[in-house]
């Protein structure tokens, strides 16, 4: 009995000590990955993923609490980059269903209050006081922050229209 | 010398740890989607298995047998194996973060990989001496790696194949594993003398 | 690899280890005389008929223009101007269905012909060979000449590149390997002298010493005409090549004519050659010798559904429907209308789309010719596609990756080298739409690339915004601090004055 207890105790202590030394020897900074992930995200702090800003999202990704497809404005490109960085395989099918959106101002409703372009994290809305506002398609991520800020519901989201340069063939057999 | 070569072949191929002894099926099915990951897993398991064979032999011969603590064998072995895995995990995390990410959850699972414990216990059962135990561990691990890579290669192609819906995913993998196992059974007819 | 075209004819065929040999359907259309399309009632001139930036309009709605007058100018380094195809009035600048499989609309100028077809005054140079090469390039650029084989890359940009990197050989593409099409064949038969002159002008513009004209040997009349026209000019070599699709693809033609291979991710210039289509050479001839911009082109109108197929000279901007109507309309509803050739052309969403500079053919194909209706079967791994691929790719493997949503895997296998010739789809015994898979994957990869670029530019915007907000907050705080300091200073001054006053009063008190 005594021999059993003693031998296992000694064994455990010895292995524990060895691992402790190894842990010190092979120590890595764990936080690098969060900064790297944040650099991959759009950085517009739109909060669509449900985390407080892109830094929060990066932390959640690093902890494995969020899927790589968490970023709607980033789309497939960002999801793939994140998946590559994290070394996981991304299930991009979930993203395929949500079409990329753009903000659009209904001119007859806009009163020129400037609230939306103060809310826009990417400066994608143009305008001045008492002037009808307009959206720059190239800069809009479709984050919908402006939609919530509009007092007259003049801002809405519309699917990104296809153009001759963005049009692509569909996948065969998936007409 | 010939004896050692024969031992290696018979442990790696004829008595393959996965396909003939059916040990270590968890990583066999879990980490065989990509060849890269399979190679990494195979190498990590090879290292752990060899190290564990040596360590458990020493534990058994120098501690458990002299003190007549045979009933603590499984507990003791698990502790040693767990420590070895922890060590490998830390080393990989430091040297190859990418491989660390790829192996993910399966790395700690080497601890409970029944191939590792199984080989250690079989060593004791066979009454192997130190050199034989080491070679037995290394040979088994080589067989494990070989089969893992073979299977990953097949699965990479399977992923591109038009598999009937009812068989897609795990079912076709298991069928493939079964066929592979049948093929390896053929080695038991090998006349090594 | 030797230049196959320099070897004896009986050896050539066996040395070409790629491609297919579809039924060419070129005759009898190729043997019929060319006809001219009467001016339609409206012409739709797209601002983008070329690779690169769309042209910028320089005329207004309501302006009266002459044939050949500049309507829209080149808007970037890679762009091309658009000219009026006839005299008339600009009635609108609007959007109109593009000659594109999507049928999406693009900006066009609508020209209403006045029926007079009056040219602008032109002042062509007396001897263009006395001009510096760059001047010839400038004239080509001003004439809006683009690659007329279908690639529509601005020709002047190519000439400038050829001059800069000093290419040795000009390859002239008279392959016309696509079935049905015979517009280049007709052009070489009827205007061989003009084509050869255009070739010599292009040689002058790039400073090269030798031109090799590759013509498939199924066009003996064109070869004879070109040989006769080129006889006085030893620098222009007419080289018959075996009729093998896709001989008219530049990479393949370069290899057959020179034995050189265009490197991966490279251009023809990297192999020391430049490729121009015979149609483009003729357009260069017109631009430099006559001062006439590219306003019309030869179009093959053919296909089983067309009643009276033939080659038609059409003004740029005439609708596909107008051309079909001129050819006595369609005998039956076509299964597919294609702009270009049947192998690489684009199916048209609507026949209202206009003829543009790169339109070599308009085909109305019957169900029988399209041959669809057979469903794609499983891949039997026969590797027929591998043996015909002119780029030595593995179409079956690439398609398998794409089918299982892994376009990157296909990219690793060389998807970007795929020239989209369609040989693989043509030979596939299981009728797998291989080239459709590749078009899809190229589009998906391009979309990913665009998304990546967008997210990078958005990141810049966000950082700029944050910096601005910080700066504004800092400036606000500084201004507030300054005001506070001023207020305090004023208070201190007031206090000091008050003190001084009290002190004075006290002194006065004491004195009193």
Contact of C69 with C324, CB cutoff 8 Å: no
Share of chain C above pLDDT 90, in %: 73
A76 pLDDT exceeds 90?
Answer: no
Contact A90, A77 (CB under 8 A): no
Give me B175's structure tokens. Answer: 């069928």
Same domain, A104 and A148: yes
Tally of domains in chain A: 2
A38 in any annotated domain: yes
Residue C5 pLDDT greater than 90, yes or no: no
Partner-chain contact C379 B162, CB within 8 Å: yes
DSSP annotation of C20: B
Chains interfacing with B (3 or more CB pairs < 8 Å): A, C
Are A38 and A58 contained in the same domain? yes
Contacts of C401 in chain B (CB under 8 A): 160
* Closest among A140, A151, A114, A144 to A129, alpha carbons compared: A114
| Res. C63: pLDDT tops 80 | yes
**CATH number for the domain that contains residue A124:** 3.30.70.20
Closest CA to C154 of C142, C167, C168: C142
**CATH assignment at residue A78:** 1.10.15.40
User: Structural domain boundaries of chain C?
Assistant: 4-115+130-326, 384-444
Given this model, what pLDDT does residue C421 score? 93
- pLDDT at residue C307 is higher than 90: yes
Residues A76 and A103 in one domain: no
Chain B residues lying within 8 Å of A3, measured CB to CB: 67, 69
Residues A126, A80, single domain; the answer is no
Summarised one tens digit per residue, pLDDT across range C409-458 is: 899 999 999 999 999 999 999 999 999 999 999 998 998 888 888 878 88
Q: Do the chains contact at A15 and B80, CB–CB below 8 Å?
A: yes
> Which residues, other chains included, contact C14 with Cβ-Cβ below 8 Å and sequence gap of 6+?
none
Q: Calculate mean pLDDT across residues C268-274.
A: 90
Q: Based on the domain organization, do A47 and A76 belong to the same domain?
A: yes
pLDDT level of residue A174 (50, 70, 90 thresholds): low
Give the torsion sign (CA, C156, C161, C163, C164).
positive
Confidence of residue C223 (pLDDT cuts 50, 70, 90): very high
Band (pLDDT 50/70/90 cuts) for residue C339 is: very high
Please give the structure tokens belonging to residue B103.
């192996």
Residues A111 and A154 in one domain: yes
Q: Both A76 and A135 in a single domain?
A: no
C4-115+130-326: in CATH 3.90.280.10: no
- What's the half-sphere exposure (Cβ side, CA atoms, 13 Å) at C452? 11
Q: Is residue A12 part of a domain?
A: no
In a domain, A174, yes or no: no
Q: Are residues A104 and A155 in the same domain?
A: yes
Instruction: Among A43, A65, A97, identify where a domain stops.
Output: A97
Are C216 and C138 in contact by the 8 Å Cβ rule? The answer is: no
Task: Please check whether residue A21 touches B, CB under 8 A.
Answer: no
Q: Is C405 left (phi over 0), alpha (psi -120 to 50) or beta?
A: left
Would A78 be classed as within a structural domain?
yes
Q: ipTM, 2 decimals?
A: 0.76
Whether the CB of B165 is below 8 Å from some CB of chain C: the reply is no
- pLDDT tops 60 at residue A95: no
As a whole number, mean pLDDT of residues B71-88 equals 88
- Rounded to 10°, the helix B130-160/B35-59 angle is 160
The model's pLDDT over B138-175, given as tens digits with 9 standing for 90+, comes to 999 999 999 999 999 999 888 888 888 899 888 999 99
Chain A residues whose CB is inside 8 A of the B72 CB are 4, 7-8
d(CA C472, CA C38): 66
User: Is residue A11 one of the residues assigned to a domain?
Assistant: no
The answer for residues whose C-beta is within 8 angstroms of residue B87's C-beta and 6 or more apart is A18, A19, A22
Question: Model confidence at C68, in pLDDT bands (50, 70, 90)?
Answer: very high
CB atoms within 10 A of CB A144: 19
- Which band of pLDDT confidence, cut at 50, 70 and 90, is reported for residue A175? very low
Decide which of C244 and A32 is more confident.
Answer: C244
Give ∠ CA A22-A23-A28 in degrees, rounded to 5. 125
- State the nearest Cα–Cα gap between A3 and chain B, in angstroms: 7
Task: Respond yes or no on whether the N-terminal peptide bond of residue B43 is cis (omega within 30° of 0).
Answer: no
Picking from B91, B53, B63, the residue whose alpha carbon sits closest to that of residue A19 is B91
Same domain? A34 vs A81: yes
Alpha-carbon distances, residue A109 vs A133, C97, C330 (angstroms) = 10, 31, 50
Query: Among A55, A74, A77, which would you mutate to test the C interface (most chain C Cβ atoms within 10 Å of its Cβ)?
Result: A77
Judge if A103 and A92 occupy the same domain. no
**pTM, rounded to two decimals:** 0.82
Three-state SS letters, C133-176: HHHHHHHHHHCCCECCCCCCCEHHHHHHHHHHHCCCEEEEEECC
> What percent of chain C clears pLDDT 70, i.e. is strictly above it?
97
Per the domain annotation, does A48 fall within a domain? Answer: yes
Distance in angstroms (rounded) separating the CA atoms of residues B99 and A32:
17
A85 in the same domain as A103: no
Which tokens sit at C228? 């006769």
Within this chain, do residues A64 and A106 fall inside the same structural domain, yes or no? no
Of A134-143, B96-105, C134-143, C205-214, the one with minimum mean pLDDT is: B96-105
Inter-chain touch A26–B63, beta carbons under 8 Å: no
Residue A126 structural domain: 99-159
A21 lies in some domain: no
CB C70 within 8 A of CB C83: yes
Q: Which residue of C has its CA nearest to B160?
A: C400
Which of A55-69, B167-181, C129-143, C165-179 bottoms out in mean pLDDT, i.e. has the lowest? A55-69
For residue C443, the chain A residue with the least C-alpha distance is A168
In the structure, what pLDDT confidence band is assigned to residue C293 with cuts at 50, 70 and 90? very high
């Amino acid at each position: 009995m005594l021999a059993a207890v003693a031998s296992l105790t000694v064994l455990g202590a010895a292995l524990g000590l060895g691992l402790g030394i190894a842990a010190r020897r092979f120590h890595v900074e764990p936080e690098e990955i969060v900064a790297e992930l944040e650099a991959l995200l759009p950085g517009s702090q739109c909060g669509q993923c449900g985390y407080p800003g892109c830094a929060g999202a990066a932390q959640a990704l690093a902890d494995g609490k969020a899927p790589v497809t968490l970023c709607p404005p980033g789309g497939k490109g960002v999801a793939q980059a994140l998946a590559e960085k994290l070394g996981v395989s991304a299930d991009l099918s979930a993203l395929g269903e949500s079409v990329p959106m753009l903000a659009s101002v209904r001119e007859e409703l806009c009163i020129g209050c400037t609230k939306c372009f103060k809310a826009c994290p990417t400066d994608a809305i143009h305008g001045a006081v008492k002037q009808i506002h307009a959206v720059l398609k190239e800069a809009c991520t479709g984050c919908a922050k402006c939609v919530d800020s509009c007092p007259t519901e003049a801002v809405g989201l519309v699917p990104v229209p296809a153009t001759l340069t963005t049009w692509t063939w569909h996948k065969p057999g998936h007409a | 010398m010939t004896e050692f070569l024969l031992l290696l072949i018979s442990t790696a191929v004829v008595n393959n740890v996965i396909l003939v002894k059916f040990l270590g099926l968890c990583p066999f099915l879990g980490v065989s989607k990509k060849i890269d990951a399979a190679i990494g897993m195979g190498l990590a398991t090879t290292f752990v298995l060899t190290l564990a064979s040596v360590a458990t032999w020493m534990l058994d011969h120098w501690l458990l047998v002299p003190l007549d603590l045979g009933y603590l064998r499984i507990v003791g072995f698990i502790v040693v194996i767990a420590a070895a895995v922890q060590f490998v995990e830390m080393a990989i995390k430091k040297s190859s973060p990418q491989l660390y990410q790829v192996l993910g959850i399966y790395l700690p699972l080497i601890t409970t990989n029944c191939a590792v414990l199984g080989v250690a216990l079989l060593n004791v059962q066979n009454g192997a001496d130190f050199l034989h135990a080491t070679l037995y561990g290394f040979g088994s691990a080589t067989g494990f790696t070989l089969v893992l890579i073979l299977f990953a290669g097949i699965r990479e192609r399977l992923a591109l194949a038009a598999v009937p819906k009812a068989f897609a995913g795990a079912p076709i993998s298991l069928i493939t594993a079964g066929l592979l196992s049948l093929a390896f059974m053929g080695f038991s007819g090998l006349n090594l003398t | 690899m030797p230049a196959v075209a320099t070897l004896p004819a009986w050896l050539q065929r066996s040395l070409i280890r790629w491609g297919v040999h579809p039924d060419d359907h070129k005759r009898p259309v190729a043997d019929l005389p060319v006809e001219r399309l009467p001016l339609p009632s409206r012409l739709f001139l797209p601002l983008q008929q070329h690779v690169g930036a769309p042209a910028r309009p320089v005329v207004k709605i309501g302006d009266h223009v002459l044939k050949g007058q500049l309507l829209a100018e080149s808007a970037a380094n890679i762009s091309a101007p658009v000219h009026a195809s006839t005299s008339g009035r600009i009635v609108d600048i609007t959007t109109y269905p593009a000659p594109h499989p999507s049928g999406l609309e693009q900006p066009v100028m609508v020209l209403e012909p006045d029926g007079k077809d009056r040219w602008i005054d032109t002042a062509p140079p007396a001897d263009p060979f006395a001009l510096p090469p760059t001047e010839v390039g400038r004239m080509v650029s001003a004439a809006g000449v683009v690659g007329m084989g279908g690639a529509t890359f601005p020709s002047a940009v190519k000439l400038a590149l050829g001059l800069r990197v000093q290419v040795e050989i000009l390859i002239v593409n008279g392959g016309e390997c696509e079935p049905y099409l015979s517009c280049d064949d007709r052009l070489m038969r009827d205007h061989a002298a003009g084509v050869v002159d255009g070739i010599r002008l292009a040689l002058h513009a790039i400073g090269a010493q030798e031109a090799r004209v590759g013509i498939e040997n199924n066009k003996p009349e064109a070869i004879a005409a070109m040989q006769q026209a080129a006889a006085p000019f030893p620098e222009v070599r007419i080289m018959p090549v075996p009729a093998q699709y896709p001989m008219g693809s530049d990479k393949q033609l370069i290899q057959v004519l020179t034995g050189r291979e265009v490197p991966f991710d490279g251009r023809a210039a990297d192999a020391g050659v430049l490729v121009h289509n015979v149609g483009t050479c003729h357009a260069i001839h017109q631009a430099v010798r006559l001062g006439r911009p590219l306003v019309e082109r030869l179009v093959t109108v053919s296909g089983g559904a067309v009643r009276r197929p033939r080659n038609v000279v059409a003004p740029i901007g005439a609708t596909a429907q107008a051309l079909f109507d001129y050819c006595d309309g369609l005998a039956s509803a076509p299964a597919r209308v294609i702009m270009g050739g049947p192998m690489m052309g684009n199916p048209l969403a609507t026949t209202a789309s206009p003829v543009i500079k790169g339109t070599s053919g308009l085909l109305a194909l019957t169900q029988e010719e399209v041959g669809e209706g057979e469903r794609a079967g499983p891949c039997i791994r026969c590797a027929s596609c591998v043996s015909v691929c002119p780029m030595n790719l593995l179409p079956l493997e690439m398609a398998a990756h794409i089918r299982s949503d892994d376009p990157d895997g296909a990219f690793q296998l060389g998807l970007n080298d795929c020239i989209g010739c369609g040989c693989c789809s043509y030979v596939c015994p299981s009728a797998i739409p291989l080239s459709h898979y590749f078009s899809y994957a190229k589009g998906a990869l391009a979309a990913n690339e665009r998304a990546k670029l967008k997210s990078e530019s958005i990141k810049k915007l966000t950082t700029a915004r944050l910096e601005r907000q910080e700066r504004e907050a800092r400036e606000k705080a500084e201004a507030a601090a300054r005001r506070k300091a001023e207020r305090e200073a004023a208070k201190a001054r007031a206090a000091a004055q008050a003190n001084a006053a009290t002190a004075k009063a006290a002194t006065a008190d004491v004195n009193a």
